Chains A and B, each alone.
Chain A
């Protein structure tokens, strides 16, 4: 143990330094280097962006506007995702796998509600190889029936099983479908076998690939690549990709509308209770509200500090330490959902749900200390900036920003917006949550889990 005087002196010095030179402190929002900034460009109609982080590795992503929101038939996004990096006209699956292994690369494909992302991580020198590979995957993947039957379908079926086993997944998808109905409300995994037994065929996936992988519908984003190099290779290897979709689909393109409501699903694999409210769109969208990010940090639930429940209201108000609470501000291109997920024992979940509603009422009434708001703002800003530094999230957001609004996601500006949140704004935001209809989804032991009306919510 070090003597108390030393520790105190250090703390005092830190405090006084802050007090004396507040203006000299460089805010997190204004990093000295411009490394957070993506440079964007366009090569033969294809949008791309890159930032040259110092380092030996590169992460390359192809972000297509083909998430579950935009799929014209259920299951198409999943099908397309699972078909990524399989046989193309020029190379077999095995060759792609072996070649990537030899280069020490990682290949990955995943989808979110709005985007389908193909991702490759590799050594910096191998950029041309992977840009070429992405060009091939986008333009000439062969959607063969036997690959579908032997490899793709079992994976989709497993995803379905996994989805059914997880109460949290079911609740999250249920709350989205309550909030947005179609479009953003479409579940990210098949909730029944109907989508892939009834609608999904290799020919349909092939047809959809010609829409999803048209130049106007996807963007290429690189982290840790020289912008000049990327623009050169992108210009060279994406010639075979069609410029416009074969068919214009309107699915999911209309402005998302918030509905709200309540859904209760019996499940014996645990308990999950989600309370959702209309949230903020992404920064590149038109409905950006920085207050929601701060509100989400203020409600919180999970602690970012060890050995402490954290400052967040729900972190302190939850019924037992074993109850898990997490507030998420899910942002999409033109809408958002602020939701609190509560999992644990049914009784504790019910108590915590009540506490969550009370917490929002408290914020709306302005009964929150200034200090807590300060902490929440700092946490929200940190989360945002960290999220941006996190390569994976940054890639998807940037790609989506390019495809949707030809604007790359600029983290610095987001952080600045979070800084500008006032106490009044926060109060107003909380009030507006309570006035709007909530989306409440209960999965698990329905005997114990409360109805939305019982905990004081309007649905």
Chain B
């Protein structure tokens, strides 16, 4: 699932972004996933239908790379080691490859819900005609 995020709010305000950016960089590095060669979207829990569907929709190359990163990270974790520094995920590589797909699926589901809950009303013109008939 996509997480609630203050990101868009902050990105829309350059002055705020200037303040928060260093903090964000520090946090992302301290979180430790980059040292295992993972990207931030690899951390999204995948045990639900939405993310499963999103994973299916990944382009083949992305899906392959994701599995490779996860296995490498698992191996590191088992061996209680970090990757050599040159293999850490660089901040510019750490893009969100899965979140946009998840958001798309969620908006599809939301649209479906909305349409299910739709209330029908007659068009004004038709309603008038029907009224005149009675």
For the complex, give the distance between the alpha carbons of A149 and B55 in Å.
13
Asked if residues B108 and A92 are in contact (CB atoms below 8 Å), the reply is yes
CB distance from A114 to the nearest CB of B (A): 35
Chain B residues, CB < 8 A from A102? 120
How far apart are the CA atoms of A153 and B56 in the complex, in Å? 15
Judge whether B112 and A94 touch: CB under 8 Å: yes
Residues of A within 8 A of B57 (CB): 145-146, 149
List the B side residues contacting A95 at CB < 8 Å: 111, 115
Most chain B CB within a 10 A radius of its CB, from A145, A146, A149: A146
A40 to B53, CA, bound (A): 47
A44 sits at the interface (CB 8 A): no
Interface of A is mostly: helix
Q: How far is the CA of A95 from the CA of B111 in the complex (A)?
A: 8
Q: B120 near A145 (CB under 8 angstroms)?
A: no
Segment 52-89 of B: residues with Cβ below 8 Å from A:
56-57, 59
- Chain A, interface residues (CB within 8 Å), range: under 10
> Digit string of B83-113 for contact with A (CB within 8 Å is 1, else 0)?
0000000000000000000000000100110
Complex: A92 Cα to B110 Cα, angstroms:
12
* Residue A13 is within 8 A (CB to CB) of chain B in the complex: no
Contact between A145 and B111 (Cβ–Cβ < 8 Å)?
A: no
Q: Mark B104-128, 1 if CB is under 8 A from A, else 0.
A: 0000100110010010100000000
Interface string of B17-58 (1 = CB under 8 A from A): 000000000000000000000000000000000000000110
Give the distance in Å from the alpha carbon of A205 to the alpha carbon of B108 in the complex: 23
Which residue of the partner chain A has the closest CB to B60?
A145
The answer to whether B59 and A92 touch across the interface, beta carbons within 8 angstroms, is no
A98 at the interface (CB under 8 A from B): yes
Q: How far is the CB of B107 from the nearest CB of chain A, in Å?
A: 9
Of all chain A residues, the one with the shortest Cβ separation from B116 is A98
Q: Please determine whether B120 and A94 come into contact, CB atoms closer than 8 angstroms.
A: no
- Interface of chain A residues 90 through 112 with chain B (CB within 8 A): 92, 94-95, 98, 102
CA distance A54 to B71 in the complex (A): 68
Nearest to A92 among chain B residues (CB) is: B111
Interface of chain A residues 70 through 107 with chain B (CB within 8 A): 92, 94-95, 98, 102
**Chain A residues within 8 Å of B115, by CB:** 94-95, 98
In the bound assembly, the distance between CA atoms of A102 and B120 in angstroms comes to 9
Q: Report chain A residues within 8 Å CB of B112.
A: 94
B108 to chain A minimum Cβ distance, whole angstroms, is 6
C-alpha gap A301/B118 in the complex (Å): 54
Which chain A residues lie closer than 8 Å to B56 at the CB level? Answer: 146
**Residues from chain B with Cβ under 8 Å of A92 in the complex:** 108, 111
Tell me which residues across on chain A come within 8 A of B120, comparing CB atoms: 102
> Nearest Cβ in chain B — how far from A394, in angstroms?
30
Give the distance in Å from the alpha carbon of A92 to the alpha carbon of B118 in the complex: 16
B-contacting residues, A231-283, CB 8 Å: none
B103 shortest CB reach to chain A, Å: 14
Determine whether the beta carbon of A94 is less than 8 Å from that of B59. no
Chain B residues positioned under 8 Å from A146 (CB to CB): 56-57
Shortest distance between the CB of A56 and any CB in chain B (Å) = 13
Q: How far is the CA of A102 from the CA of B57 in the complex (A)?
A: 30
Write the chain A residue with the least CB distance to B59. A145
- Whole-angstrom distance between the alpha carbons of A95 and B118 in the complex? 12
| Closest A residue, CB atoms, query B123 | A125
Task: Give complex CA distance A270, B111 in Å.
Answer: 48
A98 to B116, CA, bound (A): 10
Q: Which residues of A contact B118 (CB under 8 A)?
A: 98
Query: Nearest chain A CB to B129's CB is how many angstroms away?
Result: 11
CA of A95 to CA of B59, assembled, Å: 26
Q: CA of A92 to CA of B104 in the docked complex: distance in angstroms?
A: 11
Q: Could you say which residues of chain A place their CB within 8 Å of the CB of B111?
A: 92, 94-95
- Minimum CB–CB distance from A105 to chain B (whole Å) comes to 15
Q: How far is the CA of A149 from the CA of B112 in the complex (A)?
A: 21
Task: Give the distance in Å from the alpha carbon of A94 to the alpha carbon of B111 in the complex.
Answer: 8
Question: How far apart sit A159 and B74, CA to CA, in the bound complex (Å)?
Answer: 44
A92 to B112, CA, bound (A): 10
A98 to B111, CA, bound (A): 11
Distance in Å: Cβ of B10 to nearest Cβ of chain A: 29
A314 to B74, CA, bound (A): 75
With both chains docked as a complex, state the minimum distance between the C-beta of B114 and any C-beta of chain A, in angstroms. 10
Shortest beta-carbon distance, B49 to chain A, in Å? 14
Contact residues of A between 161 and 193, Cβ < 8 Å to B: none
Complex CA–CA separation, A102 to B121 (angstroms): 11
A34: shortest Cβ distance to chain B, in Å? 31
The 5 closest A-B pairs by CB, nearest first: A146-B57, A98-B115, A94-B112, A92-B111, A94-B111
Q: Given A92-B108, A94-B115, A98-B115, 5 more contacts at CB 8 Å?
A: A94-B111, A94-B112, A95-B115, A146-B57, A149-B57
16 contacts between A and B (CB under 8 A): A92-B108, A92-B111, A94-B108, A94-B111, A94-B112, A94-B115, A95-B111, A95-B115, A98-B115, A98-B118, A102-B120, A145-B57, A145-B59, A146-B56, A146-B57, A149-B57
